[in-house]
Amino acid sequence: MVSYKDLGFVNTRKMFEVAMKNGFAVPAYNFNNMEQLQAIVTACLESQSPVILQVSKGAREYADQTLLRYMGQGAIEMMKRMAKEKGLGEIPIALHLDHGGDFEICKSCIDSGFSSVMIDGSHLSYEENVELTRKVVEYAHKYDVTVEGELGVLAGVEDDVKAEHHTYTKPEEVEDFLKKTGVDSLAIAIGTSHGAYKFKPGQKPEIRLDILHEIEKRIPGFPIVLHGSSSVPQDAVETINKYGGKLKDSIGIPEDQLREAARSAVCKINIDSDGRLVMTAKIREIFATKPEEFDPRKYLGPAREALKQMYIAKNKNVLGSAGQAPAIMALLK
């Protein structure tokens, strides 16, 4: 058993407390490799934003679960060194399991030093979802690990998470779910979706903020989470297509709607596909314009820089988390 506290991570309680008070959302960025992790940590340090490093089931299988945990621990040390070198304050970092599908994977992550886990029982019946979520909460809270549950189903595909249709969260269920499970935050389905194809051609890109506001009324002051919240930057899509890609009708969530959600009870916003698109765009551009290049550092380095700049922009303009790290760090002392 490894405690997340010994590794330097924090859980999400104080993050969400400050987010609720100050009207922003903590960025939850997925990583699968070193360059993504470097970009996330550097961007959040430079913009003084808290951050939740997310590891999916697919990432654990791709990069090896033990390696990812040590990469996360290394990110803490990198952050501290860079903060000292740049004269910046340290930032709070949580290590979070994204879309845990069963009790065993959640337990494995808790035991190996994760500070937060998501148990996704949204594909089950309501009663089974409650039972599974409560079981994870009971185990996690023994070690002060925070737990995210989910009500409703997001359409789309991302790693092993797949669904053809939305099932919007029912506001009338949320109070009962929280009471019976004891979760620390709740992911809801209001029209966001996984992947780069969130809306059909001709369909107005719009999420159900009315459902969000109704849920807020029923559970005031409780942290809400939005999954599948990439905006699918069209400049990245255009670059990918220009240099041989075939992304047709890729449409994301409008950033102004995400900003409105972040000003309310939405304390955590998950963004993964945007990072994949930005990295792929830069790598395709280099392969096409510099065909003689074969050093991975010469294309992964620029891709990492492009990713860093995107995350800084997200923190400042979409989530509102830039500059919020000091307030959280003060509460953690």
- What residues are labeled active site? 98
Residue indicated by tokens 């939305």: 166
CB 324 within 8 A of CB 11: no
Six token digits for residue 113:
């030093």
Q: Phi-psi bin for 35: left (phi > 0), alpha (psi -120 to 50), beta?
A: alpha
Residue 196 sits at φ, ψ, to 5 deg, of: -100, 0
- 3-class SS of residue 129: helix
Rounded (5°) CA angle 89-147-194? 90
Give residue 247's identity as a one-letter amino acid code: L
CB 247 within 8 A of CB 196: yes
Return the number of other C-beta atoms located less than 10 Å from residue 304's C-beta. 22
**Separation of alpha carbons 32 and 331, rounded Å:** 30
Question: Which DSSP state fits 197?
Answer: B
- 3-class SS of residue 229: coil
Residue 186 sits at φ, ψ, to 5 deg, of: -135, 120
The full DSSP string for 230-251 is ----HHHHHHHHHTT----S-B
For residue 261, give the nearest of 206, 307, 301, 218 by alpha carbon.
206
The full DSSP string for 58-122 is HHHHHH-HHHHHHHHHHHHHHHHHHHHHHT-----EEEEEEEE-SHHHHHHHHHTT-SEEEE--T
